[in-house]
Structure 1
Amino acid sequence: MDANRLLAKPWLPGVELFHADFSGQAFGRHSHDAFAIGAIVQGVGGYQCRGQRYALPAGTLSLMNPEEPHTGHAESARVVYRMLYVEESRLPALLGRKRLPNGFGTLNPHDDGQVAAGLARLAGEFERGDALGLESELLALLELVFVRHGGLREAGAAFRDSGVTAYLRDYLEAHYAEAVSLEQLAALVQRHPRHLIEAFRRAYGVPPHTYLLQRRVREAKRRLLQGQALADVALGLGFYDQAHFNGVFRRFTGVTPGRFRVLAQS
């Protein structure tokens, strides 16, 4: 059980992410006061629900509605999965919809990899504690899952307001080294976070979180060329740690910060 982790943030109530990695553990009959959105990463999971026993191989989703009784166990020697729990009362604020999802009819649909990838990204943001990244990944994942499997209609076209998106871009340019949350950005322009993300993407090709990371990388290059230490650059630009800095820098440039500095000095 040491490999299991339950991730939550005090500033994001009603949302938890469970990373399960176990072999002999079994969960007795229980229910959750939240929607459960999970993906099997490795091995075969299993449970009993709605009067049937299910085996879930890797590539399968596990979707449950609030207060739905079920058990849980490993069908294989080891099972690894990620499960997102979102309280039903939080959906109106998170989704920004007048009409909410009907709930999940099919418990274990096959996944084309997008939901599992979204859960993996969300887990990474939980670990880093980056509010803007975490909230952005959460909203994208909820939209994807509930449109595909919860009866939610596709969102309409995002608002087009060049003044609003330009203001947000200027704000990110001015505060790129600070911790910025999606809720904070939405309050600045009085738009729902989901609408804000899509409008910004339509205007600049990327969501606000990606734009912010790109801006940090540009500044990191400048500071590295000035001879600043890697650790000082990472800390000064709001990265969670050196590994996070390395990963983001490489994602946008193709090389690590250390390699970039060596090549620049050669």
Structure 2
Amino acid sequence: MSADANRLLANARLPGVELFHADFSGQPFGRHSHDAFAIGAILSGVGGYQCRGARHAIPAGHLSLMNPQEPHTGHAESSRLVYRMLYIEEARLPALLGRKRLPRGFAELNPSDDGAVAAGLARVAVEFERQDCLALETELLSLLEQVFVRHGGLRALAPAPRDGGVTARLRDYLEAHYREALSLEQLGVLLQRHPRHLIEAFRRCYGVPPHTYLLQRRVREAKRRLLADEPLVEVALSLGFYDQAHFSTTFRRFTGVTPGRFQRGLHA
């Protein structure tokens, strides 16, 4: 497997955040460091590196956590290594977490995990591919809160209080702007609340986070347009879906059938 299988993803609306999807066999990484927190999960194979004066082997099912400016090497201990690594610049954390103080950092480099952090990282990876900023920010904030509480010494916050006026305004805004590419940062500025507060308060009120509500609204509009016999591709693109596959997957998630089958059923 060549190094060409590696991918580094970023989103212009989320500066200081990158996702590295590594898939290689023989590419070593010499001693280096990052100006970011690194949060990774081994998907298959065994990863290895030298750090803090010791050699580490990381099997699938373990996390790989690194603090900023921590020198280390990297290599594959197995014939093939696949992992995901999320990089978050240290200066971005207070704003993303909604905290004045940074977490103290990761004491353990490769803890075993019950799958929650790895699953959260997988959801972040999916949204990086789709470039849906609202969904990506939602999954990212959830992952960061989780990993730093579980492994970084961050104290869990109390649930956000009910905020009926703000959540109603947010719902109305989503209803009016469901075709647009929205971001949590934009919504936070508009409603003068931290994105984490908006997510939690909205979920408590409506049962789902804002990006799920937005997808449901788009599917509702998609059904109306499909009933009018509009072409599938035009419907998908006009409603802000990443591609036809994203449209089909989302439509089926909320209706149980693909948009094509829904539309064909109208003429059966």
Bin the TM-score by the shorter chain: over 0.9
The within-5 A match list for 1:156-175 is 156-175=158-177
Comparing 98-107 with 167-176, which one deviates more in the overlay? 98-107
Partner SS state of residue 72, structure 1:
strand
2-structure distance, mates of 1:21, 1:209: 30
Deviations 1:164-213 (A, max 9, x none): 00000011011111111111111111001111111111111110001100
**Structure 1 counterpart of 2:251, one-letter code:** F
Question: Partner of 1:9 in structure 2?
Answer: 11
Query: CA offset at residue 233 of structure 1?
Result: 0.6
1:145 — aligned with what? 147
For structure 2, list consecutive stretches of 5 or more residues without a partner in the other structure. none
1:69 maps to a residue whose letter is: P
Q: Percent identity, please.
A: 78
Q: Which amino acid aligns with 1:133?
A: A
Q: How many residues end up aligned between the 2 structures?
A: 266
Q: Distance in 2 between matches of 1:19 and 1:244?
A: 20
Secondary structure at the residue paired with 1:37?
Answer: strand
Look up the match of 1:83: 85
1:96-245 equivalent positions in 2, closer than 5 A: 96-245=98-247
Provide the secondary structure at the position in 2 that maps to 1:191: coil
Counterpart position of 2:261: 259
Stretches of 4+ aligned residues off by more than 6 angstroms: none
- Are residue 248 (structure 1) and residue 261 (structure 2) matched? no
Residue identity in the other structure for 1:73: H
Paired letter, 1:232: E
Q: Could you give the per-residue CA deviations for residues 131-158 of structure 1, whole angstroms, max 9, x where no partner exists?
A: 1111111111100100100011111120
Whichever residue aligns with residue 142 of structure 2, its letter is A
SS at match of 2:87: strand
User: How far has the Cα of 1:265 moved from its partner?
Assistant: 2.8
Q: CA deviation at 1:159?
A: 2.7
Structure 1: state its 5+ residue gaps: none
Q: Report the TM-score when normalising by structure 2.
A: 0.97
TM-score using structure 1 length? 0.97
> Deviation digits for residues 71-90 of structure 1, max 9, x if unmatched?
10011111100000001111
* TM-aligned CA deviation for residue 38 of structure 1: 0.2
SS in 2 for 1:84: strand
Report deviation, 1:243: 0.9
Q: Give the superposed CA RMSD.
A: 1.0
1:28 alignment partner AA? G
Offset of 1:53 from its aligned partner? 1.1
CA distance in 1: counterparts of 2:4 and 2:250, whole angstroms? 29
TM-fit CA distance, 1:55 = 1.1
Q: Name the structure 1 match of 2:45.
A: 43
**Equivalent residue letter for 2:119:** A
Alpha-carbon shift at residue 110 of structure 1 (Å): 1.1
The one-letter code sitting in structure 1 at the alignment partner of 2:245 is A
Aligned to 1:95: 97
**1:63 corresponds to which of 55, 60, 65:** 65
Of 113-122 and 233-242, deviating more is 113-122
